[in-house]
């Protein structure tokens, strides 16, 4: 019985610990990427609203939001294309 316990510890628990570290690093990287993209999109939106003069005033005030959403869609498409190329390893 001790042999079975030792085998399970070696062949199951060891790799699971390694996978846990791998998953935690992946989650931390994903969170950092999401926060960075959100901050970049917000800064782009703010720049479009303040630095373009009167181009987006009045009835055209929705256009910077459309541009920011378009940029977000482009980022998501690029990320999905990369996942599709490599697959989930």
Instruction: Note down pLDDT in tens along the chain; length 89 residues.
Output: 888 888 877 888 778 877 888 889 999 999 999 999 999 999 999 999 999 989 999 999 999 999 999 999 999 999 899 888 876 55
Report the pLDDT value the prediction gives residue 38, as an integer from 0 to 100.
96
Instruction: Give the HSE-up count for residue 63: Cα atoms under 13 Å, Cβ half-sphere.
Output: 13
**Alpha carbons 42 and 64: distance in angstroms, whole number:** 10
Map residue 1 onto helix, strand or coil: coil
CA distance 1 to 37: 53
Torsion of CA 41, 43, 47, 48, to 10 degrees: 20
pTM: 0.72
For residue 89, the model assigns a pLDDT of: 58
Q: What is the pLDDT of residue 16?
A: 80
């Amino acid at each position: 019985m001790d042999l079975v316990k030792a085998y399970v510890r070696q062949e199951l628990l060891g790799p699971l610990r390694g996978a846990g570290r791998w998953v935690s690093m992946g989650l931390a990287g994903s969170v950092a990427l999401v926060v960075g993209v959100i901050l970049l999109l917000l800064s782009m939106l703010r720049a479009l609203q303040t630095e373009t003069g009167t181009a987006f005033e009045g009835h055209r005030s929705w256009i910077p939001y459309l541009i920011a959403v378009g940029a977000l869609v482009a980022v998501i498409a690029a990320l999905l294309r990369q996942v599709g190329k490599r697959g989930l390893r």
